[in-house]
Amino acid sequence: MRHLTKAAVLVGAAAVVLSACGTAADNDDSDDNADGQQCEAVELEGDPQVALAYDVGGRGDQSFNDAAYAGLERAQTEFGFEGTEGEAASDESEEVREQRLRGFADDGYNVIVGVGFAYSESVDKVAPDYPNVSFAVIDGFDPTEDDVNCNVAYLTYAENEGSFLVGVAAAETTESNTVGFVGGVNNPLIQKFEAGFKAGVEEANPDAEVVTTYIEESDPRGFGDPAGGQAAAEGLINDGADVIFHAAGASGIGVFDAVTSADLWAIGVDSDQYLTASPEQQPHILTSMLKRVDVSTYDFIAAAFDGEPLSGYTEFTLADEGVDYSTSGDFLPADLVTEIDDYKQQIIDGDLEVPAEP
Amino acid sequence: MTRTIASPAAVRQVRYLTWIVVLAVLITVSLVRVLTDQNRMTTPGTLRLALIAACPILLAGLGGLWAERAGIVNIGLEGQMLLGTWGAAFFAYHFGAWAGVAGAIAMGALGGLLHGLATVTFGVDHIISGVAINIIGLGAVGYLAQTFFDGYEGGGPRNLSGYAVPREVTIPGISSAARWVSEQRWFLISDVAGAIAGVTTRLSLLTILALLLVAFTAWVLWRTPFGLRLRSCGESPQAAETLGVNVYLYKYIAVVISGGFAGLGGAYLAMVASSSFTTGQTNGRGYIGLASMIFGNWNPTGVLASSLMFGYADGISLLSNNGPLVHAILLLLAVLLLGYAALKFRRGERMTAYVVAGIAVALFAWYLAVDSVPSDFTGMTPYILTLFVLAVAAQRLRMPAADGKPYRKGQAG
């Protein structure tokens, strides 16, 4: 059924393109949208003015949002602009997000980044009203695929690939043959981390078992609940887990607390969390699954300054260093690093498929 | 609302009955654990999680108790807790762990003072003032965090971590012995040992303080002249006034202490349940605290028992693969409710007995129908349990007679 609709849209889109005498036909590849509709680059009015709208957890979460901020900072030093930021509350409604985005656009900001999938819906609603503003949603998806907004870029990642690598690290490090995973919210995005992690563990150590907890089933506050993170991690430790990977944003600090008290290992996420952890926690952060939100944020802003704002889906993978793993702290022995790099090459070469669903 | 004065013999009998009920519940728990082979039900780890989840609820509940015993409904607990989380982070960051605890209490007490000002001095409706305090608390904490924590190391406009927290202690010998016993999975003995190991392993000093405050509250409110006067303001402020009690003053003291307790609950969240501050991290625990106070029948031990129950539900909702465990708890609830129904039936309260028995049978049917409770439900466990228990226990509850009623000086004349 879905394929049928897609086909219908394709035919429809083709008809539109034909009737418009193919004006947009010779655009760049990256401007292709999923349904074959093609977009022209957004014309920004005046100089790019950048605004960043954070997700639950916000700047200072030492993880996802901080990575976006790092990208903004890098662009700021390079292009020399002021920029502005907006913080999200943990239980805010769709309208509040929309208002935040409209506020930015009305204030003259024309390059707007929504950090986190939660902005997908609100950007989709706001974008048509501001055709000369370039929007991006990190981790985003287009909720209305039949009606593509050409001024929206969806920056996504192959989280499963990066998680696979830290899964290998966990599988080779565990002594109890039990490793844990703490997810912030049980949604398809976070399941992608779990799927990759499990695949990596299984590949490197078939005897090891993965135990999993999600802090919340659907409530986004699962990313801003360090107490929940700590309790979830303690539960996994009780199950025998001695290496715990988290994909839970600011709640992950609680996971670090739990492994630090129990003298075990944790694996960070998004940013290189060894660098931002407290001195007590640092000896317990084995590695981090890097999701280079900073790279994509920077790329998106840079593209706007180059006069060719991004549009449609762009996936950042292992191959283009959009995801990776960190070795800060030097806890991974050299032969393990070699093993992980070997898997990494296999994934880049396409010899190894990493599942995206558990 | 007449209450008969119990004779010492009757009091002894009630105490004796209470112990029998506690023992019966313990045996039931242990039986269900053995029957369903869900040993995680009473492992030290699970019970430790439950205790940590229970303490913020307990402190909020005790806070609510102090205010309501003086006749002030404090819906603002959530906002005062939030102020407490910020106070704990800010003062601990600059001056050390115990300064953080004191700062949290002070911030919460400030919220309590505001509530007192509105309700006692200006006679604002308690619910309206409380809701306002929650909104103010949320906004103030957001603003304060943004203003202060942004430039700190380990901080951001909404977060702070890396400050000192109170120490954890493990009681050597007892902790490991109890842990060993609990691993033997013996009937009853292992369950009790699990609880002992849970409270003797890596116990935060703040947890000890929270438990001591239960006894402290009970002693002050029921064993001192000060407590008697305070409670009289909640039962009949006019009568208290005629006896020369400064009702306004007592209400102020009560609501400030109430806020302080809530603030301490916030400190617990930001220092023990986790070691970091993030805005809005109370996540409705203030309201659950209020529910635990109601279910605890405005009584410190009752608050303790009900917050432990909520904490347990909260704790198991975060265990991995907890479907089968929650499933086993359905059976436990069914059996316990059936026992409760039998008790009611014997006392002649037939209607209640039938309703409760009906619920028990429904739970039992649910237990038989499925193998595992879906994860969407396990997250809701604390809330379902709250609703459920309140529905069953509502008739037995008695709040202070003048709770939430406006009082103006001179009414007694």
User: Looking at the partner chain, which of A221, A226, A235 has a beta carbon nearest the beta carbon of B276?
Assistant: A226
SS3 of residue B143 by DSSP = helix
Mean pLDDT of A109-123: 91
**B84: CB partners within 8 A, 6+ apart:** B104, B105, B107, B108, B262, B263, B264, B265, B266, B267, B269, B270
- Residues from chain B that touch A213, judged by Cβ atoms under 8 A, are 318-320
Most confident of A80-94, A188-202, B311-325: A188-202
Which residue bears the tokens 């985005």? A101
Reference B48, options B183, B248, B201; nearest CA is B201
* Predicted confidence (pLDDT) at residue A177 exceeds the cutoff of 80: yes
* Predicted confidence (pLDDT) at residue A128 exceeds the cutoff of 60: yes
The model's confidence at residue A104, banded by pLDDT at 50, 70 and 90, is: very high
- pTM score of the predicted model: 0.84
* Predicted confidence (pLDDT) at residue A286 exceeds the cutoff of 90: yes
User: Looking at the partner chain, which of B159, B283, B318 has a beta carbon nearest the beta carbon of A231?
Assistant: B318
Provide the mean pLDDT of chain A. 86
Between B121 and B321, whose confidence is greater? Answer: B121
Count CA atoms closer than 13 A to A156's CA, side-chain side: 21
pLDDT at residue A22 in the model: 35
Cβ contact B79:B111 at 8 Å: yes
Mean pLDDT of A248-266: 92
Cβ contact A307:A46 at 8 Å: no
User: What is A159-290+324-349's CATH number?
Assistant: 3.40.50.2300
pLDDT at residue B5 in the model: 59
pLDDT at residue A35 in the model: 47
State how far the Cα of B49 lies from the Cα of A190, in Å rounded to an integer.
24
Percent of chain B with pLDDT over 70: 94
Instruction: Give me A237's structure tokens.
Output: 């430790």
Query: How far, in Å, are A113, A266, A269 from residue A338 at the CA level?
Result: 37, 21, 21
Cβ contact B210:B264 at 8 Å: yes
* Predicted confidence (pLDDT) at residue B133 exceeds the cutoff of 70: yes
* Predicted confidence (pLDDT) at residue A60 exceeds the cutoff of 50: yes
Mean pLDDT of A123-133: 92
B40-317 folds as: ABC transporter involved in vitamin B12 uptake, BtuC (1.10.3470)
Beta bridge partners of A246: A182
Count CA atoms closer than 13 A to B404's CA, side-chain side: 11
State how far the Cα of B74 lies from the Cα of B254, in Å rounded to an integer.
10
CB proximity B170 to A under 8 Å: no
* Predicted confidence (pLDDT) at residue A105 exceeds the cutoff of 50: yes
Mean pLDDT of B324-344: 87
The model's confidence at residue B75, banded by pLDDT at 50, 70 and 90, is: very high
SS3 of residue A277 by DSSP = coil
Cβ contact B244:B409 at 8 Å: no
Q: Hey, where are the domains in chain B?
A: 40-317
Provide the mean pLDDT of chain B. 89
CA distance A43 to chain B (A): 33
The model's confidence at residue A118, banded by pLDDT at 50, 70 and 90, is: confident
Q: What is the ipTM of this complex?
A: 0.81
Interface touch A234/B149, C-beta < 8 Å:
no
pLDDT tens digit sequence for A144-157: 878 888 899 999 99
Interface touch A226/B275, C-beta < 8 Å:
yes
The model's confidence at residue A5, banded by pLDDT at 50, 70 and 90, is: very low
Percent of chain A with pLDDT over 90: 59
Reference B232, options B250, B213, B259; nearest CA is B250
* Predicted confidence (pLDDT) at residue A33 exceeds the cutoff of 80: no
CB proximity A62 to B under 8 Å: yes
- H-helix or E-strand spanning residue B121: none
Interface touch B45/A278, C-beta < 8 Å:
no
The model's confidence at residue A307, banded by pLDDT at 50, 70 and 90, is: confident
Percentages helix, strand, coil for chain B (3-state, rounded to 5) are 75, 5, 25
Instruction: Give me B91's structure tokens.
Output: 């003062």
Between B259 and A216, whose confidence is greater? Answer: B259
User: Looking at the partner chain, which of A62, A91, A278 has a beta carbon nearest the beta carbon of B280?
Assistant: A91
State how far the Cα of A313 lies from the Cα of B363, in Å rounded to an integer.
48
User: Looking at chain B, which residue has its C-alpha nearest residue A273?
Assistant: B154
For chain A, how big is the Rg over CA atoms in Å? 21
Instruction: Give me A227's structure tokens.
Output: 């107490």
CA distance A48 to chain B (A): 25
| DSSP assigned state of B41 | G
State how far the Cα of A117 lies from the Cα of B309, in Å rounded to an integer.
35
Residues of chain A within CATH 3.40.50.2300 domain(s) are: 35-158+294-316, 159-290+324-349
**A196: CB partners within 8 A, 6+ apart:** A159, A160, A161, A162, A163, A164, A167, A354, A355, A356
CB atoms within 10 A of CB B209: 17
pLDDT at residue A1 in the model: 41
Interface touch A61/B43, C-beta < 8 Å:
no
Sheet with A323-325, strands from edge to edge, namely A209-216, A178-185, A243-247, A265-270, A285-291, A323-325
pLDDT at residue B4 in the model: 53
Mean pLDDT of B17-24: 85
**Level-2 CATH architecture, domain A35-158+294-316:** 3-Layer(aba) Sandwich (3.40)
Q: Say how many CB pairs under 8 Å bridge A and B.
A: 131
Cβ contact B193:B182 at 8 Å: yes
pLDDT tens digit sequence for B363-412: 899 899 988 887 777 667 667 766 766 666 666 778 899 998 888 888 76
Phi, psi of A267 (to 5 degrees): -120, 125
